[in-house]
Structure 1
Amino acid sequence: MPFEEKTLKSERIYEGKIINLRVDTVELPHKKYSKREIVEHSGAVGILAITEEKNIVLVRQFRKPVEEILLEIPAGKIEANETSEVCALRELKEETGFETDNIRKLLDFYTTPGFSNEIMHIFLAQNLSKGIATPDEDEYIEIVHIPLEEAVKKIINGEIKDSKTIIAILTYKNLLGIE
């Protein structure tokens, strides 16, 4: 394909717990060259959990990079040797206490392909059974249950700003065929 970039050199700049950063030197079409700063990420999951009352389970938590408290679907990073489905079940339990044997993948998407290889896997979880949440020791989470239409209104009025949450809610709404 004439638009592909050939990597000539790759230099690891940083290795962290959540991300790695590398700088690639690439050859562009017509023998032009450029550098690409790339954030490497192992991938993540987001879970759209629907209660028996047909409410969406969201978590409210402070996000340091944007200095705001956000309303989001439960989510987390895929660990080494972990499938996306196993991660989704683990994160749902850890963050909300809910468990299920009724989980299915809705879609996958790249979060920010201009500078990161992170892929997000969105799951739908239904037939939930309540347990006890066990968030990571550095996670402070409030669990919120809201109806689908209220969640859509919160997207429209800017109260829900998180992309994975917006994508999951609007995909679910579209699957249901709700106008």
Structure 2
Amino acid sequence: MTEQSNSSQAVSASDQSVDQHLIETTVSSEIMAQGKMLTVRYDEARLPNGTISGREYVMHPGAVVVVALTQDGGVVLERQFRYPLKQVFIELPAGKIDQGEPVLRTGQRELLEETGYSGNEWVKLGVQHPCIGYSNEVIHIYLATGLTLGAHARDIDEAMDVFVWPFARVMQAIESGEITDSKTMGAMLLAERYLLKHPVSGLSL
């Protein structure tokens, strides 16, 4: 098994010297609610003009999403019910990072547990910040190829259908609004751009 980094990935970290007039600094912080996975905090922050303002946000452990390509260029997908929106969504395999777990290991574990697939070659495509207005969540995006299929090991509280669509079909579903999950949309965009530069035999974009 090998891992690569996408060398063409742009660095988007803020330049502190350029952005100094935008930076907010924490004055105080308190926990408003503590769940099993999420923490809600309320901070008071000093704005660049000196004003103090309240900031509510959700602390998240981070997650990994995987674009897993089969030998003939299909994309492994899931259909599952998402309770907050009371709706079934089509999405890529993904899951939260366990404390102290390397992000690549999270991707490998979640892909195997949820779908039964394991990948031989892994490329990190980038990261996504899906909820910048109210959460510190970071989603790491991987492309997995050289797949082999075994048995899944889903948690008792996970119910999903696993299926494979052609790459072009997934992109059509995003364009039509059939797929609206943001991590899936972002990951597929990065995968498409990467694969245009690094073609895979049998894959039609």
TM over 0.5, yes or no? Answer: yes
Say yes or no: does 1:43 pair with 2:62.
Answer: yes
- 2:159 maps to a residue whose letter is Y
Q: Aligned partners of 1:79, 1:157: CA distance in 2, in Å? A: 34
How much does 1:176 deviate?
A: 2.5
Q: Percent identity?
A: 38
Query: Where do 1:117-156 residues align within 5 Å?
Result: 117-156=136-175
- SS of 2:177's equivalent? coil
Other-structure match for 1:162: 181
Other-structure match for 1:14: 33
Output the TM-score relative to the length of structure 1: 0.96
Runs of at least 5 residues in structure 1 that lack an aligned partner in the other structure: none
Q: Aligned partners of 2:193, 2:22: CA distance in 1, in Å? A: 34
- 2:189 maps to a residue whose letter is L
Say yes or no: does 1:176 pair with 2:191.
Answer: no
Other-structure match for 2:111: 92
Q: Aligned partners of 2:74, 2:38: CA distance in 1, in Å? A: 33
Q: Residues 68 and 119 of structure 2 are in contact (CA less than 8 Å); yes or no, is this contact kept in structure 1? A: no
Q: Residues 69 and 145 of structure 2 are in contact (CA less than 8 Å); yes or no, is this contact kept in structure 1? A: yes
- 1:81 maps to a residue whose letter is G
Q: Aligned partners of 1:176, 1:81: CA distance in 2, in Å? A: 31
Q: Residues 119 and 145 of structure 2 are in contact (CA less than 8 Å); yes or no, is this contact kept in structure 1? A: yes
CA RMSD, 1 decimal: 1.2
Runs of at least 5 residues in structure 2 that lack an aligned partner in the other structure: 1-19, 197-203
Q: Aligned partners of 2:21, 2:73: CA distance in 1, in Å? A: 48
Question: Which structure has the highest strand share of the two?
Answer: 1
Which digits, 9 at most, give the CA deviation of each residue in 1:7-50, with x for residues without a partner?
Answer: 11101111112210100001112221110001001100000000
- 2:160 maps to a residue whose letter is I
Say yes or no: does 1:65 pair with 2:81.
Answer: no
- SS of 2:22's equivalent? coil
Q: Name which of 94, 97, 102 aligns with 1:83.
A: 102
Other-structure match for 1:33: 52
Pairs aligned (count) = 179
- 1:65 maps to a residue whose letter is P
Q: Aligned partners of 1:167, 1:97: CA distance in 2, in Å? A: 23
- 1:134 maps to a residue whose letter is A
Other-structure match for 2:12: none
Which digits, 9 at most, give the CA deviation of each residue in 1:98-141, with x for residues without a partner?
Answer: 11221121111211111110000010000001001111111101
